[in-house]
Amino acid sequence: MKKSILLILLATIMLGSWGCGKQRLHDNKNFWVTVQERGTGKAIPNAEVVALEWVSTGIFMGGDYNRLGVFTTDQNGRAFIEGGEREVSQLRIRTGLDYYDMDQGSSWITYVNQSFVESDPKIVELIPFAWLKLSIDFSIYQGEFDYVSYQITGICTGSIGAGTRVSEACQVRGNTPFDVYFYGYKDGKQVKTWQNAVYAPGHDTLVHVATYTP
C-alpha cells in the first residue's frame, strides 16, 4: 500500500514538473532568448536586451510601452528575460557594435507574438553592418553610357562616371541579399535600367562590378 502511494506521489510530481516546463516554454513573461548574427548564427555576447510591455489606455487602441528590465546576454548569446507576472510585448537589442539594433530605429524590434512564444529556442537575429562599393567597366559597353546612377532603396544613391573607378562606400545590411538598381544615361537621357542582386558579407567591404547583358 505504501509503495503504491509513493508511486502515485512520484508520478504526480513528474507530471507537475513537466507541466511547469511546458508553461515556461510557451510563456511570454519569463523565458530564455538567444541573440545571434544573421547568416552565421554567431552568438552575440554582452548585448543588452530591453524587455517592454504594452500598457493600454483603453481609449481607441491607445497606450504606450513600459520598460520591464534590461538583461545582458552571456558568452553564448543567451539571456533570461524576467517579466515576473507581467507580459513581455517587445524586445529591443543594443550591442554597441556594428549591428543594426535599437539605436538604428524601430524596424529592428522583435515582437513577442504567439509564434515567437511557441518557438524553441527563441532566437533574435541581428543584421551586421557591411559596406558596399560599386564599379562599372565602361569599356565593355562601347560608349553606350556617359554615366550610370545607382540606388539601394532607402539606403544610398549616387552615380559613377566614365572616369570613376569605384564609388564611395555605402553602409548596407550584411549577410542579407538585396538589390541594387542601375540607370544608364547617354547625352542626358536615361537609356537603360537594370538591377543586380548583391550579397555583402557582414563586417566587411565588398566591391561589386555592375553587370548586365546588353
Q: Which of 76, 101, 121 is the last residue of a domain?
A: 121
110 and 40 in a common domain: yes
pLDDT given at position 8: 44
pLDDT given at position 4: 54
In order of 2, 19, 193, the CA distances from 5 in angstroms are 5, 21, 80
pLDDT given at position 57: 80
- 3-state SS string for 108-124: HCEECCHHHHHCCCCEE
Joined together, the cell numbers standing for residue 150 give 545607382
Q: Is the pTM of this model over 0.85?
A: no
Joined together, the cell numbers standing for residue 120 give 524553441
Instruction: Count the domains in the chain.
Output: 2
110 and 168 in a common domain: no
pLDDT given at position 19: 41
Q: Which residues contact 40 (CB under 8 A, 6 or more apart)?
A: 175, 202
Please answer whether residues 41 and 121 qualify as being in contact, where contact means their C-beta atoms are separated by less than 8 angstroms: no
pLDDT given at position 13: 40
In this structure, what CATH number is given to the domain that contains residue 153?
A: 2.60.40
41 and 104 in a common domain: yes
Backbone angles phi, psi at 20, to 5 degrees: -65, -40
Convert the pLDDT of each residue in 138-181 to its tens digit.
888 888 999 999 999 989 999 999 888 899 999 999 999 999 99
Phi and psi based region of residue 63 (left: phi greater than 0; alpha: psi -120 to 50; beta: remaining): left
CA–CA dist 202, 36 (Å, integer): 13
CA–CA dist 122, 19 (Å, integer): 19
Q: Which domain holds residue 63?
A: 28-121
Kind and range of the H or E run holding 70 = strand 63-72
Residue 115 CB burial class (10 angstroms; 0-12, 13-18, ≥19): exposed
pLDDT given at position 107: 67
Q: Which of 121, 153, 186 is the last residue of a domain?
A: 121
Q: Is residue 19 part of a domain?
A: no
Joined together, the cell numbers standing for residue 128 give 551586421
For the chain, helix, strand, coil in percent to 5 are 20, 45, 35
Q: Which of 69, 92, 121 is the last residue of a domain?
A: 121
pLDDT given at position 60: 73
How would you write the pLDDT of the chain (214 residues) with one tens digit per residue?
A: 545 544 444 444 444 443 444 444 468 999 999 999 999 999 999 999 999 999 988 777 788 999 999 999 999 999 999 999 999 999 999 999 999 999 887 667 899 999 999 999 999 999 999 999 999 988 888 889 999 999 999 899 999 998 888 999 999 999 999 999 999 999 999 999 999 999 999 999 999 999 887 6
pLDDT given at position 1: 53
pLDDT given at position 58: 78
Direct distance between the N- and C-terminal alpha carbons of the chain, in angstroms, rounded to an integer: 89
Phi and psi based region of residue 162 (left: phi greater than 0; alpha: psi -120 to 50; beta: remaining): alpha
